[in-house]
Every structure is written in C-alpha cells, then in structure tokens.
Chain A
Amino acid sequence: MSLLQEADRNHLINEFQALTEPVKLVMFTQEMECQYCRETRMISEEVAELSDKISVEVYDFVRDQEIVEHYNIDKIPAIAIVRGGQKPKDYGIRFYGIPSGYEFSSLIENIMMVSRGESGLSAETKAWAANLQEPVHLQVFVTPTCPYCPQAVIMAHQLAMESEFITADMVEAIEFPQLSNKYQVHGVPRTVINESTHMEGAAPEPILLGKLQEAVA
C-alpha cells in the first residue's frame, strides 16, 4: 500500500518539474526494520518515483559499514540528501527519524534546495559560513505535529549547504528519547549547536546567526 495519496503524488510531480540538478536520497535502515524505518524507506522510495531527477539508495545500517561511515550515520532511520549526477556533493544534510507530518514539507523543501544548489540565506550569513574554519553540528529536535519546526529544520539545512564545516540534522524527538533526554528536550523546535549552545523555537535568521557566532567564538 502506498503512503502518498494520489492527489499529493500529482501535486509533487508538478512541483518537481522545477528540479534542475539530480538529487539522491541515501536512506539507512536495517534487515529487521526499526520502528518507522520501513515507513521512512517507503517515503524515500515513493518520493523518488515522482521525478527522474530524484534517486534513492537504501543501505543496511549493520551490514553496509563503509557507507555508514562515509555518511557518518549514527542512528536509524536516516536519510542523507545529496546532490547526484556528474558532480555529486554531500552537504551534510540529514534527517533522523521519520519525516512525516509537518516534516514531510522539510524533506521536499530540502530536495528542491539541493537541486537548485542555492540556500537562499542572506549575504551576511553566507559570508559568515564561508569564513568558518571549524566544525559546527546543528541538531534540530522536532515532533511531526509541530508547525513551527520545519522553519528551524530548513534553516539549519540551508546553513549546511553554505559550508563544508556545517552538518545539520533533523532529529525526531519522540523516536530518539535517549537523545531527547541527553539534550533535555521538553519543547520543540530545539536547536542544539555543537553540544554546548541551544536555542528554543524557530528564530529569524539573524538571531540564529548570533547564536552560531556565540557557539564558535
């Protein structure tokens, strides 16, 4: 049974006409599929069916160690969204947990953005990212029922596009309770920057930039 409804499929086929560069969804699951691993794989496969610009590769978290390490995946279900084609590029964009509910729109927005190759961030933020010389890891905790969360997820992923040093994860808080506990997540979206700094809510770009500057100062 298909997860995407007919009307939604048709709508997406239309939206994906705008895709330029090929996009690859690198999905990680395992043989005994974890909770929501199966659904996450199905979402990836069904979305990839809707455009010849989108492909999907499914890997086993236990067996395919080399690939797991290459993409630095530490939990499943996971999706890395990378540019495919002649000039493949991994921007460090990751989804951990199922991109359902409001996060499905984050997934689609990311596919469009990676294909476009343009983050859409301000010149000031781009300049900051371009000068970055140390790793920055953003983890955006979300729930699928949170309408404010995609804004925070998309902005983190936009940042990942702008620097080799930035990686950005969506983390579905309910699926990874141990992480939610570790980072004391009791409200979403919550963005954790480099383990040390955190931010509540979907903040405007200048405020996030300020937090990032604080975190790497």
Chain B
Amino acid sequence: MSFDLNLGLGMSNLGGGEDNNYDVVIIGGGPAGASAAIYTARADLRTLVIDKGLTAGALGITGKISNYPGVPGPVTGAELVEIMRAQAESFGAKFITDKVVGVDISGERKMVMAGTGAFYTKVIMLATGSMGRTSVVKGEEEFLGRGVSYCATCDGAFFRNQTVAVIGNNDEALEEALFLTKFAAKVHLVVPTPELKAREALAAEATTHPKIEVQLGTRLKEIVGNGQVAGVRVHPRGGDEQTLPVTGAFVYLQGGKPITDYLMAQLETEPNGCLVVDKEMQTTVPGVFAIGDLLCTHIKQAVIAAADGVIAAVAADKYIHGRKAVQTDWK
C-alpha cells in the first residue's frame, strides 16, 4: 500500500478554524475573479481567491493582448492576470492554487470544498470561466469507472505497474501525468495541440520524465475495450491513426462550455444549462454570484469579465452588510 497515512491531510479538510473563515470566497482567479477581489478586499471584506493556476483559464493561455483599457501592451494574458492579482493582493486578498471539488450553498454560512481543505464564507463568487468540455469521445462514458478517470490522485493506485494514457495539454494534465508515474509503468501523454499550454518548469519536468512519452498534436478519437479500457485510438496530425494499448485513460481536455460541475446542480439554470443571474450578478441563491465567461450569454472579453466582477463585488458588499438596496455607486 502506498497511500499517505498523514492525518494532517484529512484534518485540513475539516476547516472551520479561524483561518478558513472568509467574507468572500471567489472560485477562479481570472479577470472576473481578480477584479472582484480588488473591490471586495478594498472594501475590507476578508477575501480568498481559489484558482487552479495562472495558465488554467482562457486569459492565462492568451498570447498577446493590446486592447485592455489602460494597459497598452502587448502583454500576455498571464501577465495581465498577474497584474490584476498583485493589485488585489495589495488590498489584502489572498490567492491560493487549488481545485474546488464542491460547494454547499444551503445555509447562510456557505462552504467551499477544495483539495486542500474546506473554506467557510458568507459570499461565494463563481468565476470558473467556460473552458469546460462540450462533448465526450466515443467510449468515454461506457468505460467511466472501468479505466476512464478524471482524477489521477483518486484512482492512480488502481493502475500499479500498468500502462495508462493522459489526454490534455494544460497544467492539470501534466501534474496528473507526473502523479501517475508513482504507480504506472508507463504514461502516454496525448497532447491535442502542437505544443503544451502549461507552465514552463512543469512542461520540462513532464517531457523529460523517463516514464512519460509525449505525443504532441495528437487527437483522441476513441477509448476502446471490452468491459474494461484496453486502449486509446489516437490520430497524430499528418500521421496515421494508431491504438495505444493502455488500461487507464485520464482525460483532461478542455472546450468552450461553462464550468459548473462542482456546483452539483444546486443552482437554477436556464434550459440551455446557463446559470440564472440578476443584474447584480446574483444567482437564485442569495449570496452566490456568478461572473465572467461562466455566464454563457456573454461577450468573451477580459474587460467585460472584469466589469462583471466589480458589479458583483459591490452587490456582495451590500449583501454582507445587510443593506436592502443595491446601489451602482461605490463610496
């Protein structure tokens, strides 16, 4: 057995301690989340931003930006996000790198469960963007739990000494591939794009790891098997299709759909799956706001997302201080 007996891991999940209590927890640290944090932190609200990583979102992987008002540029998306974060931090907002796995919005004291622990808060802002997947590949649903997984830390131990595939190009895919090397004999990293879209150091570590074989510019076509995953059919750009014999397929692909899975259907949506919000960006649950690209009726521009964040921040301040009327000015 290889799992860590460290009870500290579990303990940190209990939360509830003074350090885990916030006025505002913002999920997603892109332009919407960071802008909201600038305003809430400046209004003396104890603010936490939970983000998967600088290059996890749409802006983080954008190459050159020259049209963000006040920032002539050109700057990279990651640089622009860093400027916003530094500004929010200067007002006291705290940023952590983590993945949110669930929220409980049933009470006034709301809970956000992340990998490293539970956080309690009066207000939750959802700013997770819209890089969720729109479709699944053939075989993916059929073999879910039979070799298809979305969580290497959860399921890695079932693939000891086996050959597995990780499909994706971002930080998360690379981190999970590296985690799987602790168990698996070999990890095929199937990258759909011609290059990785991840932090440089992480990319270097993954591409030079003796157990990881990287295939750039290669699309996942199908997950095949008979009761269990037996392989992944892939198509390298300009090459012939091939089937890699693997028993596990860990999928971390992205698309253009709002990321709302961690909400576990606790919020009202429109028939098309989009979250319902009012003009202050508040969802149908008081104290829960949604901002930025997550709202699918949106113009997907950083400056619009930032403005959403500010509108929600103003409303959150009023919500927390029990004021009935939401005013549009900020004093």
Q: How far apart are A163's CB and chain B's nearest CB, in angstroms?
A: 21
Residues of A within 8 A of B14 (CB): 8, 11-12, 15, 104-105, 108
| Cross-interface CB contact of B13 among A15, A150, A204, cutoff 8 Å | A150
How many B residues, CB 8 Å from partner? 40
Residues of A within 8 A of B11 (CB): 4-5, 8, 11-12, 104
Residues of A within 8 A of B154 (CB): 143, 145-149, 187-189
Question: B113 on the interface (CB 8 Å rule)?
Answer: yes
Residues of B within 8 A of A149 (CB): 154
Q: Per-position contact with A for B1-30: 1 when CB-CB < 8 Å, else 0?
A: 101111111110110110000000000000
Q: Of residues A14, A15, A143, A203, which shows the largest number of chain B Cβ atoms within 10 Å of its Cβ?
A: A143
Q: Are B10 and A187 in contact (CB under 8 A)?
A: no
Residues of A within 8 A of B146 (CB): 184, 186-187
Question: A88 on the interface (CB 8 Å rule)?
Answer: no
Question: A48 on the interface (CB 8 Å rule)?
Answer: no
Residues of A within 8 A of B149 (CB): 186-187
Residues of A within 8 A of B6 (CB): 100-101
Residues of A within 8 A of B90 (CB): none
Residues of A within 8 A of B71 (CB): none
| Cross-interface CB contact of B228 among A12, A147, A186, cutoff 8 Å | A186
Residues of B within 8 A of A146 (CB): 151, 153-155
In the assembled complex, the Cα of A144 lies from the Cα of B11 at a distance in Å of 12
In the assembled complex, the Cα of A207 lies from the Cα of B264 at a distance in Å of 10
A-B contact pairs, 5 of them (CB 8 A): A104-B9, A144-B3, A151-B102, A187-B144, A188-B155
Q: Per-position contact with B for A76-105: 1 when CB-CB < 8 Å, else 0?
A: 000000000000000000000011111111
- Whether A104 touches B4, Cβ cut-off 8 Å, given contacts A148-B102, A148-B154, A186-B228, is no
Interface size class of A (residues with CB under 8 A): 35 or more
In the assembled complex, the Cα of A147 lies from the Cα of B11 at a distance in Å of 13
Interface residues of B (CB under 8 A from A): 1, 3-11, 13-14, 16-17, 99, 101-102, 106, 113-115, 118, 144-149, 151, 153-158, 228, 248, 264-266
In the assembled complex, the Cα of A84 lies from the Cα of B21 at a distance in Å of 32
A172 closest partner in B (C-beta): B3
B114 closest partner in A (C-beta): A147
Q: Per-position contact with B for A180-217: 1 when CB-CB < 8 Å, else 0?
A: 10001111111000000010111110110000000000
Question: A174 on the interface (CB 8 Å rule)?
Answer: yes
In the assembled complex, the Cα of A23 lies from the Cα of B9 at a distance in Å of 24
Question: A168 on the interface (CB 8 Å rule)?
Answer: no
The 7 closest A-B pairs by CB, nearest first: A104-B10, A146-B154, A8-B11, A200-B145, A105-B13, A204-B264, A187-B145
Q: Are B1 and A147 in contact (CB under 8 A)?
A: no
Q: How far apart are B324's CB and chain A's nearest CB, in angstroms?
A: 29
A18 closest partner in B (C-beta): B16
In the assembled complex, the Cα of A174 lies from the Cα of B147 at a distance in Å of 16
| Cross-interface CB contact of A187 among B1, B115, B158, cutoff 8 Å | B158
Q: Are B101 and A148 in contact (CB under 8 A)?
A: yes
In the assembled complex, the Cα of A207 lies from the Cα of B228 at a distance in Å of 24
Q: Per-position contact with B for A114-153: 1 when CB-CB < 8 Å, else 0?
A: 0000001000000000000000000000011111111100
Q: Are B10 and A103 in contact (CB under 8 A)?
A: yes
In the assembled complex, the Cα of A53 lies from the Cα of B84 at a distance in Å of 48
In the assembled complex, the Cα of A187 lies from the Cα of B114 at a distance in Å of 20
- Whether A101 touches B158, Cβ cut-off 8 Å, given contacts A147-B115, A204-B266, is no
In the assembled complex, the Cα of A117 lies from the Cα of B156 at a distance in Å of 36
Question: A65 on the interface (CB 8 Å rule)?
Answer: no
Q: How far apart are A75's CB and chain B's nearest CB, in angstroms?
A: 16
In the assembled complex, the Cα of A15 lies from the Cα of B158 at a distance in Å of 35
In the assembled complex, the Cα of A98 lies from the Cα of B11 at a distance in Å of 14
| Cross-interface CB contact of B3 among A15, A101, A201, cutoff 8 Å | A101
Q: Are A102 and B13 in contact (CB under 8 A)?
A: yes
In the assembled complex, the Cα of A207 lies from the Cα of B1 at a distance in Å of 33
Q: Are B8 and A186 in contact (CB under 8 A)?
A: no
Q: Are A187 and B155 in contact (CB under 8 A)?
A: yes
Question: A45 on the interface (CB 8 Å rule)?
Answer: no
Residues of B within 8 A of A185 (CB): 145, 158
Q: Of residues B8, B146, B148, B154, which shows the largest number of chain A Cβ atoms within 10 Å of its Cβ?
A: B154
In the assembled complex, the Cα of A198 lies from the Cα of B145 at a distance in Å of 10
A10 closest partner in B (C-beta): B17
Q: Are B265 and A204 in contact (CB under 8 A)?
A: yes
